Structure 1
Amino acid sequence: MVKTVIFDMDGVLVDTEPVHYDVSLLQFKDLDITVPDEMYHTFTGNSNKMIYQKIKDNFQLAHEVEELIEAKNKLFLDAFDKKEDLYLMPGVKELIIDLYNNGIQLIVASSSEMAIINKVFERFDLNPYFTHKVSGEDFPESKPNPAIFIKAASYSKAPIHECIVIEDSTNGITAAKAAGIFCIAYKGESGKGQDQSKADMVITDFRDLNFEKIKNINA
């Protein structure tokens, strides 16, 4: 029986991907570089540490990776605070409440920095439902490396085979499967262009999930 659900955040709980994209374009313009969309889409699910190391190497930037990340996060947090039309994914809050009320432990495992995770959780009042928040900034390698999900599962009140992951990105799904965890892929607008074929299940609407459908999913 499923005892713990591990959620990715960007593209799963909230569609922050357009904000990330817009502020990244601003930063790339400031850096006088052009990052093709084909390259940008491969970053989805990666930590900023990995993304900016790739950018630094590819464009031979003199900036330190930490400097680039700090500049990006400042742009993102400013844009996040100003963007009024930013909402949780349809049906996900209802699913979270349903799972919580039925005793399912909830954990978030996001490639974003903890400052951004906390900002999202405070804005949408998610803190009461989740026992742990795991950030990709704490790991030397990000998704598709499974370390973040192995760590998240270590916080579970149950064995890893009683956990499931809800992800949207190719890198995230690959990481979940490498960790040996059942993975549900959410195919939302921001998930377009992501290969979700390795997921155990694909949904397009969180209203298709509830406690009764999830509890015996990997029994």
Structure 2
Amino acid sequence: MTKIKLLIFDMDGLMFDTGRLAYRAYLQSAQMHNFQVTADVYYYLTGRTEKGIMKGMHELYGDTAPVGTWRFEINRSKDGILKKEKRVFKKKGLLQILNSAKSAGLKVALASSTSKPKIMRYLEMEEMSGMMDIIVSGQDMKQGKPAPDVFLAASRLAEIAVESCLVFEDSIVGIQAAKAAGIRSVLIEDDIRALGGFDGKHKLLKNLDNLRDKMVISDFKFDDLSQAEKYLSKKDYII
């Protein structure tokens, strides 16, 4: 049993409801550029840096499909949705677990594959500027998730050993990165399957069946951050 001293949070789909927003952009742009897309495509790509996403898209659709054009349109569509909604919307239990951790004397870090300017923009949109003790962008790391760099950087900046850290993630590559870092992880699934898919002419070349089964490598799994906070605070963050 170890006293947790640092909680490390992914951002997109975990702290904020940007997973649903991003997948809406995937669907809109897939119809424009005729790509087959399912929720599993999003699950396969999410959590990566921009470079990692492009690599993953080539793995899914091959080197001849115009994935660069599609990716550009995804980002443009996502920016359009953001400008219209002017929010990224906090996920259930986010403020609850941050306040609980701080009350218990823990540090909190944000470690995302998203660029630092976008991280700061999202925090400002949700009036959360200054709430995180440490902010690390995977774009500034030598390797993005599933490499452990971004989580190891958060641990190092906090001056807290990995054994006393706990990562919160919603993505496959994020859980893999936590495991590679030797940090225990909590999975909060971001379920977007109800949004459906699109069957375009650019077909998937990779079988994504049972993709979510890879998530079983997480140490804990909860429906939302509120459930996680109740479990951890009851144990006084000793797990």
TM-score, reference length from structure 2: 0.77
In the alignment, does 2:217 pair up with 1:217? Answer: no
Q: Which SS does the other structure have where 2:105 is aligned?
A: coil
Contact 2:46–2:171 (Cα < 8 Å) also in 1? yes
Q: How far, CA to CA, are the matches of 1:121 and 1:164 in structure 2? A: 21
Q: How far, CA to CA, are the matches of 1:139 and 1:84 in structure 2? A: 29
- The AA in structure 1 aligned to 2:218 is A
Contact 2:87–2:125 (Cα < 8 Å) also in 1? no
Q: How far, CA to CA, are the matches of 2:92 and 2:71 in structure 1? A: 30
Aligned sequence identity (%): 25
- Quote the offset at 1:100 in angstroms: 1.9
Indicate the RMSD between aligned Cα atoms, in angstroms. 2.8
Contact 1:4–1:157 (Cα < 8 Å) also in 2? no
Instruction: Summarize deviations over 1:157-195 as a string: whole Å, max 9, x none.
Output: 322211110111221111101100011111343499633
- The AA in structure 2 aligned to 1:204 is D
Instruction: Summarize deviations over 1:64-98 as a string: whole Å, max 9, x none.
Output: x6x87666444323322312675211111111122
Q: How far, CA to CA, are the matches of 1:174 and 1:191 in structure 2? A: 22
- 2:35 corresponds to: 34
User: Mapping of 1:137-152 within 5 angstroms?
Assistant: 137-152=139-154
Unaligned stretches of 5+ in structure 2? 195-210
- 2:105 corresponds to: 103
Contact 2:8–2:168 (Cα < 8 Å) also in 1? yes
The one of 157, 164, 171 aligned to 1:169: 171
Q: How far, CA to CA, are the matches of 1:214 and 1:40 in structure 2? A: 34
- Quote the offset at 1:145 in angstroms: 1.5
Q: How far, CA to CA, are the matches of 2:74 and 2:135 in structure 1? A: 21
The one of 36, 55, 58 aligned to 1:53: 55
User: Mapping of 1:126-205 within 5 angstroms?
Assistant: 126-190=128-192, 194-195=212-213, 196-205=215-224
Unaligned stretches of 5+ in structure 1? none
Q: How far, CA to CA, are the matches of 1:121 and 1:17 in structure 2? A: 16
